[in-house]
Structure 1
Amino acid sequence: MDQSGITPNTSNQQLVNGSDNDSATALLQEKQARRRENLGDVTFREYMTVGILCFVNLINYMDRFTIAGVLADVKSEFNIGDDWAGLLQTVFVIAYMVFAPMFGYLGDRYSRRKIMAAGVALWTMTTFAGSYVTNYYWFAVFRGLVGIGEASYSTIAPTIISDLFVGNVRSKMLAFFYFAIPVGSGFGYIVGSVAGAIAGDWRWGLRVTPVLGAAAVILVAFVMQDPERGQAEESTMKPTSYGDDLRALVKNPSFMLSTLAFTCVAFVTGALAWWGPLFIYLGLNLQPGVAISKERVSLVFGGITMASGLAGVPLGAWLGAALLKRFPRAHPFICGAGLLVSAPAMALGMLLTQYYFYAPFVFMFIGEVALNLNWAIVADMSLYIVIPPRRSTAEAFQILISHMLGDAGSPYLIGVISESLKRSLGSGDMESPSMSVQFRALQYALFVTCFVEVIGGAFFLMTTKYIVRDKQKVDRAIAEAEAHGSEASHSQAQEENVPGE
């Protein structure tokens, strides 16, 4: 068995050697292009399925960042510091990443509709129940349960899109799907702050998404389409063992390098999303004559996050589609360039927060737009460099690595660094550090994210060396499996037509 998970048969061996290899790939790509290259070919039910997936992804990220919009109130409620506040997000992400491989395995083998419906129901109920918990430790436990439910959805949803579409249409649908991430995150800040302010209790911010989640469960269970795995590519490939899946993924350089790069993206987005509103609130209130509320900062930060997603995700998808035909290595190059542009923009935004009112927002918007270029592109790359029956496992593996080394620890790490710096900057006075000390400690801690962005950009640029070769391997494997399936069907038909003696 080769690395692709396909056992070549002798009669089709020519498909995986020499020039026949390239011709098989070309024929497969031409066939896919004829089949699904225009949005006009997409059926109403397929549009409905993508719309449902986007809706669930939207409320998924709303729920994830609602607490970040009311973080100052959460700290006051439970009487905790930056480190314990960061731990809330870390608990969520640890549960999310630990259970992702299990859902990846199930998603490649069982009903994705049932798995996703159960997962959305779980995080909807635990979010609502957790909003009534008054003990910090139990509150953290419920955030972990929310992470388990969200893992079931995030691991499987992109693979449904990959099984419905190919080529340019798949890229556009993935852009639409991942467009919901920054927009949902922005809504999370807004919903958390506005609902909490209206009700006079931050906990009401957590009770909005469960209502939407209940509707999402019904839509997933009864309306969403669950296609056959590899349907869009007419793939006849069958799942291999879980061990073979993992070995093939580890030996796939494009997948591993892009996963490491995306880990840096997760580290940065996790830290900035969690600490960004509080950092800006502290910095702006240090300026003479400025008195801005936590709720207004969360509202503005949420608006910037949404606007950057509205600009960045479609821009990344458009650049990828425009450049890919002339420059086959365009996808990882765009992602890498985006991170290398984002790093200095974010650094400038952090440096100017204490001195200017509008400049920090402008530079952070630029930084987030550049960061958002990669969302749809990374997902597209991860799908076309992995064979169809292995894609849920690949998504789960990428989630595990990127969150384990990324945003599982970044909010807590930034909080720990900030608390440590408060001691030195505040001359040991930890009972009531001044606003200036709190801001400076958090600022120095957040500068770590800029260095991580540069590392991520380097990993993406390294991916450009392997991306074309690894995509061709997948195309060849699908072409070989299709040819093998055709020969098997032809042989069976001949045997059935042989007259009996």
Structure 2
Amino acid sequence: MPISSRGNAGTLRVGPSVCMGGDVVGDALSNTRYAGVCESQPYTVLTVAKMAASKGIEDEPLLRSLDSPVEERPIDNHVLPEPEDHDFASDVPITNPGRRAYISTIILFLINLLNYVDRYTIAANLIAIQATYGIKDNDSLAGLVQTVFIIGYMITSPVFGFLGDRYPRTITMSAGILFWAAMTLSGSFVPDNMFWLFVLIRGLVGVGEASYTTISVTIIGDLFVGNRRTQMLMFYYFAVPVGSGLGYIAGKGIAEAFQDWRWALRVTPALGVLSVLCILFIIKEPTRGQAETGNHAIASQRYLEDLKALLKNKTYLFTTLGFTSIAWVVGGLALWLVKLMELVYDYNGWKDTSVSFIFGAVTCAAGFLGVALGTVGAQAYRRYNPRADALVCAFGNILAAPFLFVGLTFAATQVGLAWAVILLGEICLFLNWALVPDILMQVLIPVRRSTGNGMQLLSGHLLGDALSPYILGAVADSIRGGGQTYFERYQSLAYSLYMAVFFSVIGGGFFLAASLTIEGDREHMQATLRDCQQTEAEQGIIVVSPVQPATIITNEDVII
């Protein structure tokens, strides 16, 4: 039973297709159950007349407000745009998310960049830090600095994942970044005889970083969908290699400029405060699942139910194990490769202090190329294989192993070759950096993504880069014994780093396993979203606008 009524500023048609323009409600609607307000253009409602009628559209106050005669506005020029693209990663048509979404992504990228600059400032100045605190010949204690940082990071990641799925994310991130800035600055004032206080403060720095890293990527997931989301994640994760490289370069440069490594920890906190202002006053937090389901929210479930669902998701489990292997490899290499190459330079009698700058440049280049090649390659391969994302991740991990092996083996005698294969190995490792979170969003519903990301970070750090720096340092100490020559110290460290080659291959195996399950888990997630929309459609009217895929009108309010 189609209903066609005229309002005082637009038109409302209820039927297979409904359009609303202007203020379709009169004063009488203020006391009714339904209201519709359109800002500037019509909306198309995908429902049937009987559903609208069963929910009160035929209430007398509403019909009276719509019966006043007024010229009907034309709507021929207001039609939904055709989807820009479509791929196996999403069954949701992609529309223009708006300029503010891109600005928000740029801000999130810059903050992520700042996080990694700060994190790898320590690695760039590790030898100076060891000298300051009297642990020059104790690599296991030096590795503990990074290990404790990661412990603080990983323990609180699930906590922030829980908060990110249930509370305002911009507020949570802002509080965490302010805490991170305060702890980073405090670490630069620790006296020379209080090494353990410095270690503790670095652990608290990890807590602040976890608040941002766990949550920020889910905001991008709510702003974009499909290939557009993959592209934005690629841009966001450029911050990892670029920030890491800048950490080595800027961290070392600032330390040398001030003749004190502590000054390298006093620049980023001020930028952290500026970041908080950008989050609070520029970023508009999207509704969870906005890009896939529209502006209406999907109800969060109990935390234990979320955890049970994660444990049943095979793709999530396999990619988490693969991510953990990546974290083990990257965490160990990030801390120890610079020292390895510095020992090589000392062994060859080169008094060159540019190792940190070279490694920083290699990491920046490798990361940029790796993230871009992995993302673009996966997008192209998706057209032919729905398992492309997981397969590209597996390819990167497995191919990195021989490059790393050659670099570690010939570094002492073939320095140029070592730098070249380290570059190639890092490119392979970075292929999956944007694809892992994209896989997570493909197989988890929106209100479970922060929790899933938090638990993935917990696993990656608990079993990955929280362990590898300390283990690699301890193994190197054990192999070296009492040897103190540059070659003995290089050789023992190189032997210990062979463990990273092994874990790189193991990670590739986990991603191969994920490629066998990703199709089924992706379809299950999309079916769950469809079920949620169907359930909510029975309680209101689903509205689709040219800007957002769907909006739902519920009992008391109209959300458009």
TM-score of the pair, normalised by structure 2: 0.79
Alignment of 1:289-438 (within 5 A): 290-293=350-353, 296-423=354-481, 428=482, 433-438=484-489
Q: Which residue of 2 aligns with 1:214?
A: 273
Q: What does residue 242 of structure 1 align with? A: 303
Change beyond 3 A, Cα 1:493–1:447:
closer
CA-CA distance at 1:222 after TM superposition: 1.4
Task: Within 5 Å, give how 1:92-171 maps onto structure 2.
Answer: 92-134=149-191, 135-171=194-230
Seen in structure 2, the aligned counterparts of structure 1 residues 392 and 201 have a Cα distance that, compared at 3 Å, is: same
Q: Which residue of 2 aligns with 1:440?
A: 491
Identify the match of residue 114 of structure 2 among 59, 80, 90.
Answer: 59
Matches within 5 A, 1:207-286: 207-234=266-293, 236-286=297-347
**2:531 aligned with 1:480:** yes
Q: Please give the alpha-carbon distance, in whole angstroms, between the structure 2 residues aligned to 1:183 and 1:49.
A: 19
Contact 1:32 1:166 (8 Å CA) reproduced: yes
- What SS does structure 2 have at the residue aligned with 1:358? helix
**Structure 1 residue 237, shift from structure 2 partner:** 2.3
Greater relative CO, 1 or 2 (CA 8 Å, sep 6+): 1
Would the aligned equivalents of 1:123 and 1:149 in 2 still touch at CA under 8 Å? Answer: yes
Worse overlay, 122-131 or 233-242 = 233-242
CA contact (8 A) 2:88 2:382 kept: no
Which secondary structure does the structure 1 equivalent of 2:283 belong to? coil
Contact 1:182 1:305 in 2 (8 A): yes
Cα shift at 1:129: 1.1
1:366 Cα offset (Å): 0.1
1:325 shift after superposition: 2.1
Question: How far does residue 488 in structure 1 lie from its aligned partner after superposition?
Answer: 2.2
Quick one: structure 1 residues 422 and 237, their matched pair in 2 at CA, closer, same or farther if it must change by over 3 Å? same
Distance (Å, rounded) in 2 between the aligned partners of 1:268 and 1:303: 19
Q: Could you tell me which amino acid in structure 2 is paired with residue 71 of structure 1?
A: L
How far apart are 1:310 and its partner, in Å? 1.2
Per-residue deviation, 1:43: 1.9
Residue identity opposite 2:126 in structure 1: L
SS in 2 for 1:285: helix
SS where residue 384 of structure 2 aligns? coil
Native 8 Å contact 2:88 2:383 kept in 1: no
1:245-301 deviation digits (Å, cap 9, x = unpaired): 0010011000000000110000011000011110011113222x53322xx100110
Distance in 2 separating the partners of 1:452 and 1:411: 14
User: Aligned residue for 1:16?
Assistant: none
User: Alignment partner of 2:539: what SS?
Assistant: helix
Unaligned 5+ residue runs, structure 1? Answer: 1-25, 497-501
8 Å CA contact 2:540, 2:555 repeated in 1: no
Find the aligned partners of 2:207 and 2:279 in 1 and give their Cα distance.
Answer: 18
Question: Do 2:91 and 2:526's aligned partners in 1 also have CA atoms closer than 8 Å?
Answer: no
Name the structure 2 match of 1:467.
518
2:418 alignment partner AA: P
Aligned length: 456
Aligned counterparts of 2:474 and 2:346: Cα–Cα separation in 1: 23
- What is the deviation of 1:495? 11
Structure 2 residue identity aligned to 1:458:
G
2:101 counterpart of 1:46:
yes
Distance 2:231 2:553 in 1: 40
Aligned partners of 2:120 and 2:248 also within 8 Å: yes
**CA spacing shift, 1:207–1:227, aligned 2, 3 Å:** same
Cα distance in structure 2, aligned partners of 1:27 and 1:355: 48
Whole-Å separation in 2 of the counterparts to 1:317 and 1:30: 15
Picking from 175, 178, 195, the partner of 2:254 is 195
Aligned-partner Cα distance in 1 for 2:89–2:522: 11
Kept in 2: contact 1:28–1:475 (CA 8 A)? no
- Paired amino acid for 2:291: A
Would you tell me which structure has more helix in proportion to its own residues? 1
Describe the superposition over 1:200-222 as per-residue Cα deviations: whole angstroms up to 9, x where unpaired. 11111111211211211111121
1:495/1:314 CA distance change after superposition, 3 Å: closer
Alignment partners' CA distance in 2, 1:31 and 1:210 = 42
* Cα distance in structure 2, aligned partners of 1:127 and 1:316: 33
User: 2-side partners of 1:397 and 1:494: how far apart?
Assistant: 34
Query: 1: CA distance between counterparts of 2:195 and 2:90?
Result: 57
Structure 1 residue matching 2:180: 3-state secondary structure: helix
Matched, 1:32 2:92: yes
- Structure 1 residues 218, 27: CA separation in 2 closer, same or farther (over 3 Å shift)? closer
- Deviation for aligned residue 1:493: 9.5
1:368-402 per-position Cα deviation (integer Å, ceiling 9, x unaligned): 00000000000100111001110000000100011
Task: Using structure 1 for the length normalisation, give the TM-score.
Answer: 0.88
Shift of residue 31, structure 1, vs aligned partner: 6.8
Q: Which moved more, 1:475-484 or 1:389-398?
A: 475-484
| CA RMSD of superposed structures (Å) | 2.0
Call closer, same or farther: CA 1:209–1:251 in 2, change over 3 Å: same
CA–CA distance in structure 2, aligned partners of residues 279 and 270 of structure 1: 14
**Equivalent position SS for 1:32:** coil
Shift of 1:30: 8.2
Q: Deviations along 1:4-37, whole A, 9 cap, x unmatched?
A: xxxxxxxxxxxxxxxxxxxxxx99988722x33x
**3-state SS, counterpart of residue 238 of structure 1:** coil
Runs of 5+ consecutive residues of structure 2 not aligned to the other structure: 1-85, 543-551
Q: Give the AA of the match of 2:130.
A: K
**Over residues 106-128 of structure 1, what are the superposed CA-to-partner deviations in whole Å (9 max), with x where a residue is unaligned?**
10000100000011111111101
Q: Distance in 1 between matches of 2:448 and 2:264?
A: 38
How far off its partner does 1:48 sit?
1.1
CA–CA separation in structure 2 for the residues paired with 1:441 and 1:397: 34
SS in 2 for 1:391: helix
Per-residue CA distance 1:441-485 (angstroms, 9 max, x = gap): 111111100000010011101111100000000001101111121
Aligned residue number for residue 241 of structure 2: 182
CA distance in structure 2 between the aligned counterparts of 1:42 and 1:164, rounded to whole angstroms: 7
Does residue 450 of structure 1 match 2:501?
yes
Say whether the 8 Å CA contact 1:414–1:446 is kept in structure 2. Answer: yes
Structure 1 counterpart SS, 2:158: helix
Q: Read off the aligned partner of 1:119 and give its amino acid letter.
A: G
Q: SS at 1:232's partner residue?
A: helix
Separation of aligned partners in 1, 2:177 and 2:87: 40
